[in-house]
Structure 1
Amino acid sequence: MVTAAKDVLKDYLRGARGVLLWKLDGLSERDLRLPRTPTGTNLLGIVKHALHTEVGYFGPTFGREWPTPDELVPADGADPQADWYATETETAAGVIDLYRRVQAFADETVDALPLDAVGHVAHWGNAEVTLHEIMVHTIVDLQRHAGHADILREQLDGAAGLLPTNGNLPDAADWPAYTRRLTAIANRFD
């Protein structure tokens, strides 16, 4: 059986979203917000960025506006990183809820338009794009950020894996021995 291209893209989009949210499961507000890289990358900020990305690509790009713009970071705001962290007044539950509502909004756009529907991305110089292109671009972007979240989560508490139901890692691995072996190999190149 051949699955329609749009259905395949929708499935991959849902999967990327799910994995990204899964990486937040069970963590405290502090752990979700704490910067884990020198550039401030944090788990909740990745999700906040993802929701803003989806609103833009599946909203204004195709002539739709988010119904409650006060919930979003203004595009012309003073802080260029404002969509990469949760403020003191935002909760993790609130950001996650907003992202789920943004997903439904984006899905409405996907369901209403054919893959060859034309839109314009303002921050790409008003470039003409198709829904197909935006779906692929968004899936790639979300998977990239899911990879970031996977690494941050593993560094935080050792939780790692591809999916909640499929870790995609050996079950009985001796990870300390494995990393010592890889370190020994790397050290031969000093």
Structure 2
Amino acid sequence: MNTFVAGERATLEERLDLQRTEIAGLLADVDEDGARARLVPSLTTVLGLVKHATFVEQVWFHARLAGRTRAEVGLPDTVEESFTLEADDTVGSVRAAYVAACEHSRAVAAGHDLDTTVEWHQGPVSLRWIYGHVIAELARHAGHGDILLEQLDAGASG
């Protein structure tokens, strides 16, 4: 199928999957130390970005869209905590958790049409809105990750 002229849902899902691939790809060529390197004052690291992206998938699809509480899904209380790395977080484990979260998100979303609405603290939102929001968030974080990887590469070669 030519995704340039696909229907609305196929287009949104294709755009979302492109960003999901970008996020997972951040961990493709980085070692454990590089993935954890703090290059900015915040908790933002390459590994932390992918861990946060898992949180994003779980908040919007596993909790809100699936109708489960954050506690049921096992989500941290704050966005900031979603960047926090644990001692047992590795490139492999965080990437695997992200890929699994994306697979589950796809399965949850498949059971809903684009006009399905869920409650959010700012008011009801549709699945269509969720797709757009998550696409934008993942794209932003993929860009952050690209910059961190550039910094890591510059430090390794300079």
**When the two structures are superposed, what TM-score results if normalisation uses the length of structure 1?**
0.72
- 2: CA distance, partners of 1:26 / 1:85: 21
Shift of 1:69: 5.2
CA change 1:144–1:69 in 2 (3 A) is same
| Contact 2:49/2:145 (8 A) holds in 1 | yes
| Secondary structure of residue in 2 paired with 1:59 | helix
- 1:135 maps to a residue whose letter is Y
Mapping of 1:111-150 within 5 angstroms?
A: 111-121=110-120, 124-125=121-122, 127-150=123-146
2:51 to 39, 48, 51: 48
Deviations 1:84-110 (A, max 9, x none): 132112222111111111101110122
Identity of aligned residues (%): 27
**Of the candidates 12, 33, 36, which is equivalent to residue 36 of structure 2?**
33
Q: What letter corresponds to residue 105 of structure 1 in structure 2? A: H
Question: Residue in 1 aligned with 2:102?
Answer: 103
Structure 1 unaligned blocks of 5 or more: 159-190
Please tell me the residue identity of whatever aligns with 1:97.
A
Match of 1:75 in 2: 77
**CA shift in 2, pair 1:117/1:73, >3 Å:** closer
Say whether the 8 Å CA contact 2:15–2:135 is kept in structure 1.
Answer: yes
Structure 1 outlier segments of 4+, above 4 Å: none
* Cα distance, 1:82 vs structure 2: 2.1
Deviation at 1:57, TM superposition (A): 0.5
Q: Supply the RMSD in Å over aligned alpha carbons.
A: 2.1
Alignment pair present for 1:21 and 2:20:
no
Residue 73 of structure 2 corresponds to residue 63 of structure 1: no
Q: Secondary structure at the match of 1:24?
A: coil
Looking at structure 1, the residues matched to 109 and 26 of structure 2 have their Cα atoms a distance apart, in angstroms, of 25
Q: Scaled by the length of structure 2, what TM-score is found?
A: 0.85
CA distance in 1 between counterparts of 2:82 and 2:33 reads 18
One-letter amino acid matched to 2:65: F
SS of the residue 2:119 aligns to? strand
Secondary structure of 2:124's counterpart equals strand
Higher helix share: 2
**Cα distance change on mapping 1:69 and 1:89 into 2, 3 Å:** farther
Question: Which ranges of structure 2 fall in alignment gaps of 5 or more residues?
Answer: none
AA paired with 1:31?
A: G
Q: 1:56 to 1:105 in 2, by over 3 A?
A: same
Asked if the contact 2:23–2:53 (Cα under 8 Å) also holds between the matched residues in 1, the reply is no
Point out the structure with max Rg over C-alpha. Answer: 1
Q: Aligned partner of 1:119: which letter?
A: V
Shift of 1:43: 0.2
